[in-house]
Structure 1
């Protein structure tokens, strides 16, 4: 069982009520939780391995000293289908070169499979997921984070579909030629651009899942009104727990997602999960700027006070319990059939919750669900069943097109 011996004391972080620190070893999945993690298909729809090894190469087919994913840890956690993010930084919209980077990242995943064909296999459809799993192989699927490589040309959509990309996050941290971004105060399109509407329809037709993570609220509603197939939020959490954070989904958006038949894949990053972590960097920045302004940025007094601020206000990591709170809320609001996992491993740096620090820890999530009286069927749905249903429906819509 989960050893939830969390101390009742609260860490005061800049006047924000932060959850008490919890040691990772205070979480211990039972044999039953491990059995369920091994028994049922686990699909994690957002893992940033491609960009991680593009910047600093490591052979993730073997144990690695850094990062959140490698094959041995993934096997320990029961992971079957890591969706590898073909991440294109927002600045490529202006600088160019996004298509080349996307191809390089896809190449790296093909190379990973080529180096370890006894461990991995590429998966381009739901049938291949089943076949690979039956053979004991981990399926490498791919989604594109930021649609900048479309470059306004639907031929690029078809090209990347042929290369194995099966979802596209329409934008990232800045507005692009497709959609406004949730992070960008400039609302160039007030939702989707004209090309964005065309792209959503084309993605439906080709069998590509539309990912609503990262886009603005207006763009989300544009997608919902346009799409003929269910959509995904590949790595998002709930605004209920992070008020004012547009990157997460509001309750009204969740209701629209349910009407669409889509799924929200819960992001594990602490800043997505807990308000104190979400506000931490902004509040710390303001406090440090105030000190620098008062004493002079390069003064010894300022350096001393900044060091004290940082030492006395450690990052307030979220906990597994708080991730489970997000899952509970979705279940209560729109139903368990709309919940999945989109951890953002290797994409959120050192900000993962206690108890969910890497791909070996999915059994901890299963244990938490058991402790909250989720049925075995519900756990199966959350781990991967709900997402596979959506993917299958997107495939079926495309196949039924004339």
Structure 2
């Protein structure tokens, strides 16, 4: 299953994502069947915005992107959360455009399920996922990345819940009217806004999962104080391996997540997985800025920089290190998969290049001594537990 040490080193050093490097990973029949015979949930796949920008019929094999139905079936994926991603543009926030785009992206997912009912079905509940799995149909759940479409109105929260959205990432790359972003140095709210605190409570009441990916550390701890329901980090990895990268979670946050009962869904993007890949972007941007200041033409700078400085792709083994650390620190019940496929561009690890490769991850877990029962928790049972708790709390309130 594993790449040879030399092969892995060469693939990473050369920035290679060649078929040969990918094919060096060979999952066993057991790993393939574990992926296919159990509910496999990935809480963050950016298909809606991808096909909004440039249409692809993902019910069939596609040349672009990280997801399509045939590859998903090959990988055992049967319950992806499709990201209703709203860019953190100032022209969107508070001007009605976020609300409009969110509804358009939801429409696209409903249309996909309508056009291919033998392949897809919208999933609004744990019961839907379980029944559709039995029926052999892929569940399309939805999560909203960036709470901008709420636009300060709790009625919009209820609207999007009725439309099938089951988690909301409170902010994205800029602070919004709900929360500060981990990427935004302005820290307007010093955590959550007053409305954001009210929204968290109402999300509990309606049964909407709270996603703490992307938000600032202060906002995270305020969510922990307010929420009566376990939360998710839909696509985050660990700061232990990317020091100073606030977008990832540190050990204290993981301990708080355990106390809350929540789950962190590990992001596969190389810049989330290794410090080397994370800092590569900083080096590129700094070099580009220096080139601009010296009056050089920077039209094709990024491509030229990448050619001279190959991107240091992470490995599948390094993704597994993140899972191992969560398990060792807070337990097997608090980790899952949030790949960010179709959301991190050409930065995916060797061995995890698209939705066909989940068996490679399963094989890696087997090789590290994880039991079948533990692997099932990582694949989907942990997320389903949290989702059930959100549903139960809402029914009681």
Question: Would the aligned equivalents of 1:8 and 1:20 in 2 still touch at CA under 8 Å?
Answer: no
Q: TM-score of the superposition, structure 1-length normalised?
A: 0.93
Residue 4 of structure 1 pairs with residue 3 of structure 2 = yes
The farther-off stretch of 90-99 and 318-327 is: 90-99
* 1:379 lines up with 2:378 in the alignment: no
Question: For 2:177, what is the secondary structure of its paired residue?
Answer: coil
Question: How many positions carry a matched residue from both structures?
Answer: 392
Shift of 1:124: 0.4
1:344 aligns with 2:340: yes
Once residues 69 and 8 of structure 2 are traced to their aligned partners in structure 1, the CA distance between those partners, rounded to angstroms, is 37
> Could you tell me whether the CA contact under 8 Å between 1:268 and 1:343 is conserved in 2?
yes
C-alpha RMSD of the superposition: 2.1
1:309 and 1:269 mapped to 2: Cα distance? 20
Range that drifts further, 181-190 or 309-318? 309-318
Q: Deviations over 1:132-170 (max 9, x none)?
A: 111100000000000011111100000000000000000
Determine the structure 1 residue equivalent to 2:318: 322
2:77 matched residue in structure 1: 79
| CA displacement at 1:390 relative to structure 2 | 0.3
- Partners of 1:21 and 1:54 lie apart in 2 by 29
Aligned twin of 1:335: 331
Q: Which residue is 2:249 aligned to? A: 249
Structure 1 pair 111/293, CA: closer, same or farther in 2 (3 Å)?
Answer: same
Matched position secondary structure for 2:357: helix
TM-score under structure 2 normalisation?
Answer: 0.94
Taking a change above 3 Å as real, the CA distance of residues 392 and 7 of structure 1, as seen in their structure-2 partners, is same
Write out per-residue CA displacement over residues 290-348 of structure 1, whole angstroms, 9 at most, x where no aligned residue.
Answer: 45555x403xxx99999875433111111101100000000011001100000000111
* Paired position in structure 1 for 2:387: 391
After alignment, is 21-30 or 156-165 more displaced? 21-30
Q: CA deviation at 1:284?
A: 2.0
Q: Distance in 1 between matches of 2:317 and 2:41?
A: 21
**Aligned counterpart for 1:47 among listed residues 40, 45, 54:** 45
* Shift in Å, 1:94: 5.2
Residue 236 in structure 1 maps to residue 236 in structure 2 = yes
Superposed displacement of residue 350, structure 1: 0.8
**Matches of 1:9 and 1:355, distance apart in 2:** 10
Displacement after TM superposition at 1:56 (Å): 0.5
Residue 370 (structure 1) aligns with? 366
1:136 equivalent in structure 2: 136
Does the 8 A contact of 2:94 with 2:148 survive in 1? no
Give runs of aligned pairs for residues 27-46 of structure 1, distance below 5 A.
27-46=25-44
Hey, what's the Cα distance between the residues in 2 that align with 1:206 and 1:304? 48
Structure 1 distance, partners of 2:198, 2:321, is 37
Where does residue 57 of structure 1 map in the other structure? 55
What are the superposed Cα offsets for residues 86-120 of structure 1, whole Å, 9 maximum, x if unpaired? 00111111554111101100000000000000111
Cα deviation for residue 286 of structure 1 reads 2.1
Counterpart position of 2:275: 275
Q: Distance in 2 between matches of 1:84 and 1:303?
A: 34
Cα deviation 1:238-261 (Å, max 9, x = unaligned): 000000100000100000000000
Tell me how far 1:289 sits from its aligned partner: 3.8
